[in-house]
Structures are given as C-alpha cells and as structure tokens.
Amino acid sequence: MLLPVLLGVSIIAFSLIHLAPGDPARAIAGEHASPQVIHAIEEKYGLDKPLYIQYGIWLKQILHGDFGRSIISHEYVTTEIWDRFPNTFELTILALIFAILIGLPAGIVSASKQYSVLDYASMGIAIFGISIPVFWLGIMLMMIFGVFLGWLPIAGRIDVLCSLDRITGFMVLDSIITGNFAALSSVLRHLILPAIALGTIPMAQIARVTRSSMLEVLRQDFIRTERAKGLSERMVIYKHAVRNAMIPVVTVIGLNFGLLLAGAILTETVFAWPGVGRYVIQGVYARDYPVVQGCVMFFALVFVIVNLITDIIYTYIDPRIHYA
Amino acid sequence: MERKRETRTKELLRRLSYNKAAVFSLAIILIVILCAILAPFIAPNDPNPSPPELYNSLKPGFWSQDGVGGMPLGTDMLGRCVLSRIIYGARISLTAAIVAVAIAMLLGITFGVLAGYHGGWVDSTFMRIVDIMFAFPALLLAIAIVAVLGRGLDKAMIAIGIVYTPQMARIIRSSVLYVREMEYIEAGKAIGSSNRRIIFRHVIPNSMSPVIVYGTLMMASAILDCAALGFLGLGAQPPTPEWGAMLARSYQYIVAGAWWAATFPGIAILLTVLGFNLAGDGLRDALDPRLKM
C-alpha cells in the first residue's frame, strides 16, 4: 500500500520539472547559458534520453537519497533539507502538542456537558479556529505579543547573541544536552508564537471531532449499562467513553499532520523560520526545480509515514483492529 | 398534508431558519456577495488610485486624529484606502473560490460517478490515484502546481480546483455506491433505460446532498487556500486587491505601528470563511440530521 503510493508521488514530483514551461536544461543552466553549456547539462542529467529512462535514472538517484543539487546554491538538496528539517520538526511537534493538550480536553468537556455554556463557548471558539487564516493569526500574535507588548521575539529561531553548538541539529535538544540554558530559553521563546499560530487550526479540529465522537459513544448501550450499574460519571467518561471515542480523533490528528506541514510553509514564511517550508517557497520563487521536487517528495514521505504510524496506533487503542 | 407539498428547497430553507448560526452565516455570505457585486458603488475610494497617493501612506483610520478624511479603515503603504481594497477584494476571493470549487465539482462528479457507478478496474484505478493525491498536504500540492503553471490568480484557482478534486470525487463515489443499490435504479434498468439516462436522471440528482454540504465547506477552504497562495506571492499579483496579497504587503509595517493594514484584510478572510463553514455545518444538519455533530 505504501510503496505504490510513494511511486505515484515520485512520478508526480518527477513530472514537475518536465511539465514546467521551457526546457529543463535551460532552467538548470540559466537564461543566458551558451548552447555548449546546455548540451553539457543535457548529457550530464540524461535529458537527451527518453522520459521513462530519465525517470528510471532519477528514481535510482532518489532511492540513494540524492535529489540532485540546488540550481541556486549548488548544495545537495538532501543536505539542505536535513539542515532545515529539525527546525520544522520542532515547530510542528510543539504545535501538535499544543493542539492536543487544548483540543482534546475541550472536546471531552463539551461532549460530557452538551449544550452547556462551556460547550457553546468551546465550540464557538473552535469554529473560529478552523476559519482563521494561519498566516494572519501568526501576524496578529506577532503584532500583539512581539511588537506591542514586547514579550516575545517576532522572528527567527534563536537570538543572534546566543551561541549554540550543533550536535543533533534539534536546537531544543542541543541546548539541553550542552546544558546551555540561555540558549534553551531563547530557543523556546522563539518557538512559542509560531507554534501557537500553527497549532490553532488542528486544535479546533481535534476539539470538534473529539466532541462529536464522544457524543456518538455516549449514546451507546454499554454506556447506559455502566450508568445503570452505578458507575460514577467520571469513570464512565474518562475510563470507557474516551477510549472508545479515540479512533476518529487519532485519524484526525494524523490527517492534521498534513495540515501542519502545509501550515508550516505559511508560518515559517511569517516568522522567518529557517525550516523546510520556507525552503520550498524559496525554491518556487527561484524556479529551483530540484529543490521543489526534493521538498515535495520529502513532505509526502513524512505524511505517508505519519499515516502509517496512525494506523499502528489504532491497534494499540483498539485491540479489535488487527493488521495481518 | 400541507408539508408534503413543500419543495425540497423550501423544506431546506425552513430547517435552516431554525438554526441561528446558519442564519447568521447566510447573512455574512450575503453581505460579502453584495460587496462583491456593488463594489464600485459602495467603496468610498478607488482601490488602485493612479498615480498612487504616497503622501497618504500608512495613515490610520477613524479611530485616530491623524487619519485622512474618507478613509475609514486607514491606508496601506501606498496610500490606498484599506476599506475600498477589502470591498473589491470580496470580488476576487469569491470568484476565485467559486471557480476552484466548480473545477473540483466538475472533475470530481465526473470521476466519482464513473468510479462509483461502474466499479471494477475503473474504480480501483481511480482509488489508487486518489490515494496518491492524498499523500500530499493540499496546500503543498497547490504550490507545486503553481510552480509548474507559473504565478497568478488564474493559475492559483486551477491549482486549488485540481487539489480539491480527489476529495470531491471520493465523496461522490461513496454517495453513488449507496444510490446505485436503490430499487429505483434497478427499476430503471429493468425498463431498459440507458446508463446515461440512469446516471443523469437518477444517480447524480440523488447523490447531491453531500456534494452541496462539502461544496459549501470547500468554498471556505478555497478562500483560505487562495488567500494563502496570495500571501505567499504565488496567487494574485499586486496591485490586485486580494486579501491574502494585501496581508503579505502590509505585515512588515506592523513594527512601525501601522497595525490596521495587516489586521482588516485578515478579519475579512476570517468572517467570510466562518460564514461558509457555519453554512456548511448548517446545511449538513438540515439535509442529513443523522450526521448532526
């Protein structure tokens, strides 16, 4: 299931450069390249061969983790993605934690106190949450907490004055390992606003799905039985209902990871965040096709892996599900 | 007895009118549509004055003494009236979203009906393609398509339409799978109706409720994604008064204290999207009470 999808994804990514208007060799060589240079590039990249052979060569390369070199920086795309990935990863994970920590309880409480003020309030906030443009929310947070109140930095990953040894590339981790708490505090302070901006839409969706899934479960017979046998409402909800309501919630969290990746493109642009999202946009601006191809493949790969993890989590929360 | 004579539309409207959020959402949508249609008559100023009135740049609106008369929401960095640009922006956002959703519906209904009605290899090929397209986050796929087609509002609309197609097709497919087993389809086949007639007269009309609901919700995401592409500089190009592009141009000036130019276009996006989301929720509850959240 996974392999055919990835193969299809690779065909789409491969077609990008060939569907683009203009000659790919010229795109790589630049506008003012001489015919000799273009010819050399055609030979080097196999652009003079039939498409399916080109695809074969390209596929073999990417299976070895080689997406080619950026037209602009001449660095390997894979290296550039790996340099930026930890930044995107830390941002999305923190956003996801924020989304789950608030969205899940909000949904559970809304469902267990259906039609209460609390229910209306959290569902009202949730519908705003799914309607808000993530980039505008980022701008507003930046404006209020960064510019007007001056509590938090408005852009970047870490203060310029902070030095931090890179070990893993994950700045939060690196600063903890090296015991550099000045850097840790700076890194975390830079993370807060982008993470909240990015996490708000998933938070709202998680809250909405948790609520409707809980309501569905709470109507079922075994819940009535439990209430009838005198189990406390607390036990009914937290021990039995929540666990049974989790399947759609986990699905939505998995799907939201895709939204988070897409949102990261916007959030990283707003907050000048040096991640993969900003990298792909810069690639699109510069018509740097190897970069766009590499990032598209990379995002799709991450998304597919996350969906796989989601499937595995199902079997843990619901022992009735088995994968042969 | 009286109620039986109600048309489906009337019944739908009656059910919607019980839902306060839905009524509110229809009001928002109506206001946005009116803004779009009547823009030249209600906008206080020219959205793109030529030559630009640079001496008016980044002036605050009605809340401040320093404002310029006749520019209630202030001006942007080129001295253009923010309110007028927002009103004109309604035209662009609505058109873009309608075109994108229309593309998704046209392609989605075609593929979805074919896959669902015929089944077999048509269906399995279709489902594999959908799986592949779902492996991309929607906005990323739209960005990749724009990277191929080039920047511009028209290309952004096409990209968003293509990206939404598999979602729409899958919704229609599952709806068709259900309708196809109905007795009236069997009856149609028994009296010798052609496939074409059965599809157009029976299958499509009876598969429409989820299409209406998801089409409305899709309008909301299309407006968001179109604004996002505009914000990234890949959609509408300046000086087009598109809401997302307006934000992209003005948010750097918040450091200088000019918050209005980056605030109001976002509120316009938020309210319009909210309108379509609430309307979609309301339609779902009214058309299919079983799905009620």
- Mean per-residue pLDDT, B54-68: 77
Residue of B nearest to A294 (CA): B144
- B293 band by pLDDT with thresholds 50, 70 and 90: very low
Q: What is the pLDDT of residue A1?
A: 66
- Mean pLDDT for the stretch of residues A198-218: 90
Q: To the nearest whole percent, how much of chain A has pLDDT over 70?
A: 95
Residues in chain A closer than 8 A to B259 (CB atoms):
143
Helix, coil or strand: residue A69 = strand
Task: Give residue B18's pLDDT.
Answer: 79
Residue A207 φ then ψ, to 5°: -60, -45
Q: Is residue B292 predicted with pLDDT exceeding 50?
A: no
Name residue, tokens 């970047």. Answer: A156
User: What distance in Å separates the CA atoms of residue A258 and residue A141, rounded to the nearest whole number?
Assistant: 23
Mutate which: B131, B143, B264, vs A, most A CBs within 10 A: B143
Residue among A243, A275, A245, A282 nearest A260 (CA) = A275
pLDDT band at residue B158 under the 50/70/90 scheme: very high
Buried b (16+ CB within 10 A) or exposed e, B154-187: ebbbbbbbbbbbbbbbbbbbebbbebbeeeebee
CB contact residues (below 8 A), chain A span 138-167, against chain B:
139-140, 142-143, 147, 154
User: B residues 16-55 near A, CB within 8 Å?
Assistant: 21
DSSP B8-39: HHHHHHHHHHT-HHHHHHHHHHHHHHHHHHHH
Q: Give the integer Cα–Cα distance in Å for B164 and B220.
A: 12
Phi, psi for B71 (deg, rounded to 5): -125, 75
Q: Is the pLDDT of residue B145 over 80?
A: yes
Contact state of B140 with A262 under an 8 Å Cβ cutoff: yes
Rounded distance between C-alpha atoms, residue B58 and residue B292, angstroms? 46
CB contact under 8 A, B136 and A280: no
Residues of B in Cβ contact (< 8 Å) with A258:
136-138
Whether residues B277 and A127 touch (CB distance < 8 A) is answered with yes
Mean pLDDT for the stretch of residues A39-49: 76
Contact between residue A162 and residue A183 where contact means Cβ atoms under 8 Å apart: yes
Chosen from A10, A14, A131, A282 to mutate, greatest number of chain B CBs within 10 A: A131
Task: Note the pLDDT of residue B4.
Answer: 56
Query: Does residue B97 surpass a pLDDT of 90?
Result: yes
User: For A39-43, A228-232, A270-274, A320-324, which range has the lowest pLDDT when averaged over its residues?
Assistant: A320-324
Residue A9 has its nearest CB partner, among B135, B224, B227, at B135
What's at B117, amino acid-wise?
Y
* A6: chain B residues, CB-CB within 8 Å: 135
Inter-chain residue contact A5 with B135, CB threshold 8 Å: yes
In contact, A227 and B102? CB cutoff 8 Å: no
Please check whether residue B223 is in contact with residue B272, taking contact to mean a CB–CB distance below 8 angstroms: yes
Q: Which residue of B has its CA nearest to A207?
A: B293
pLDDT attached to residue B162: 93
Question: Which band of pLDDT confidence, cut at 50, 70 and 90, is reported for residue B199?
Answer: confident
| pLDDT surpasses 50 at A34 | yes
Is B147 close to A12, i.e. CB distance below 8 A? Answer: no
Which residues on chain B are in Cβ contact (under 8 Å) with A152?
none
What average pLDDT does chain A have? Answer: 83
CB-based contact (8 Å) between B127 and chain A?
A: no
A241, A217 Cβ separation under 8 angstroms: yes
Say which amino acid occupies B181: E
Separation in Å, CA B140 to CA A92, A266, A276, B133, B149: 15, 10, 12, 11, 14
For the residues A221-233, what does the mean pLDDT come to? 82
**pLDDT, position A254:** 83
B217 touches chain A (CB under 8 A): no
Pair of tokens at residue A182: 């000045």
Q: Does A212 sit within 8 Å of B254, measured CB to CB?
A: no
Mean pLDDT calculated for residue range B264-282 = 92
Give the model's pLDDT for residue A36: 84
What residues of B are in contact with residue A263 (Cβ under 8 Å)? 139
Decide if pLDDT at B289 tops 60.
no
- Predicted local confidence at residue B1, as pLDDT: 43
The dihedral sign for the CA sequence A86, A88, A94, A100: negative
Reduced to 3 states (helix: H, G, I; strand: E, B; else coil), residue B119 is coil
pLDDT-based confidence at A322, cuts 50/70/90? Answer: low
- Touching check for A111 and chain B: CB below 8 Å? no
CA distance A68 to A53: 17
Q: Does A215 touch chain B (CB under 8 A)?
A: yes
Q: What is the pLDDT of residue B269?
A: 94
| Closest Cα in chain B, distance from residue A124 (Å) | 10
Interface of A with B in 16-75 (CB under 8 A): 16, 19-21
Torsion angle, alpha carbons of B256, B259, B262, B264, to 10: -160
Using an 8 Å Cβ cutoff, are A28 and A291 in contact? no
Chain A residues touching B255 at Cβ < 8 A: 147, 154
**Residue A139 to residue B251, Cβ atoms within 8 A:** yes
Mean pLDDT along residues B203-219: 87
Which residues 189-208 of B have a C-beta within 8 angstroms of A? none
Does the pLDDT at position B5 exceed 70?
Answer: no
Number of Cβ pairs closer than 8 Å across A and B?
A: 134
Q: Nearest CA to CA, how far is A226 from chain B (Å)?
A: 24
A303 closest CB neighbour out of B137, B227, B270: B137
